[in-house]
Amino acid sequence: MFFSGTATTTSQLEWTMTELMRHPECMKKLQDEINSVSTHNSNVTEKEVEKMDYLHCVIKEGLRLHPSGPLLTRLSTEDVQLKGYDIAAGTQVIINACALQRNPSIWGHDAEEYRPERHFGLNLDFNGTDSKFVPFGARRRLCPGIGFSLVLSKLTLANLVKRFTWRLKVGPEGDDKPDLVEASGIDVCRKFPLIVFPSLVHA
């Protein structure tokens, strides 16, 4: 319960911020949308967040490339045959959700690239009924905390982007983009913490 309620959401936000720092054009587009919808000086509200289409796409793309739980376990309830393999009832099956969500035959030649715009017009959501996109699992094993996680992620990211401008410390080799090195574990988080420097945005 603690892992599902905390580690997955923080990992998701860290990966999303990582990708936004690697793609400043996406960060700028997100900032413009947030500022156009939330025009006051207070925090972004939940009602305002629901009007932010690009923010939703940013969250979706982060989940597509960096699902917190990339391996889904299922128990076969009946004998089935899949691509020539016989799978007996009661067999524990491990599904690589990360491979599904980066499959070029599904997502195109740029499946490995971070491109939030790809989700505009796609009728894919988090309800687990389509095997192309299962960051929260599927069917009866669908994560019950989807609603809470999405609201928390959207509100947190929207307020971080609205309140601050972010910059990276340029490395010794002049690299100004954060790495994508993953740690090993039950959830796939960054191997090294994302270190960015905020500057307060003045109205």
- When comparing pLDDT for 62 and 130, which is higher? 62
d(CA 109, CA 194): 28
* pLDDT tens, position by position, 81-131: 888 889 999 898 888 888 888 999 989 999 999 999 999 887 777 666 677
Whole-number pLDDT of residue 141: 67
At 69, the pLDDT band (50, 70, 90 cuts) reads confident
**What is the identity of the amino acid at 82?**
L
**CB half-sphere exposure, 199, CA atoms < 13 A:** 5
d(CA 18, CA 38): 23
Element (H, E) at 86: strand 85-87
* pLDDT tens, position by position, 135-186: 777 666 667 667 778 888 999 999 999 999 998 876 555 467 888 998 887 7
3-state SS record for 88-135? CCCCEEEEEHHHHCCCHHHHCCCCCCCCHHHHCCCCCCCCCCCCCCCC
Rounded alpha-carbon distances, angstroms, from residue 27 to 16, 94, 157, 167, 173: 10, 35, 11, 11, 24
- Residues near 41 by beta carbon (within 8 Å), at least 6 away in sequence: 203
- Is the pLDDT confidence value at 76 over 80? yes
d(CA 11, CA 19): 12
Whole-number pLDDT of residue 74: 78
Whole-number pLDDT of residue 99: 86
Would you state the torsion angle of the CA atoms of residues 62, 43, 151, 168, taken in this order, to the nearest 10 degrees?
Answer: 20
- When comparing pLDDT for 44 and 169, which is higher? 44
Strongest mean pLDDT among 7-11, 58-62, 181-185: 58-62
CATH 1.10.630.10 at 2-68+104-200, yes or no: yes
For residue 54, the SS3 value is helix
Q: Which range among 1-10, 24-33, 103-112, 133-142 shows the weakest confidence by mean pLDDT? A: 1-10
d(CA 189, CA 6): 12
- Is the pLDDT confidence value at 14 over 90? yes
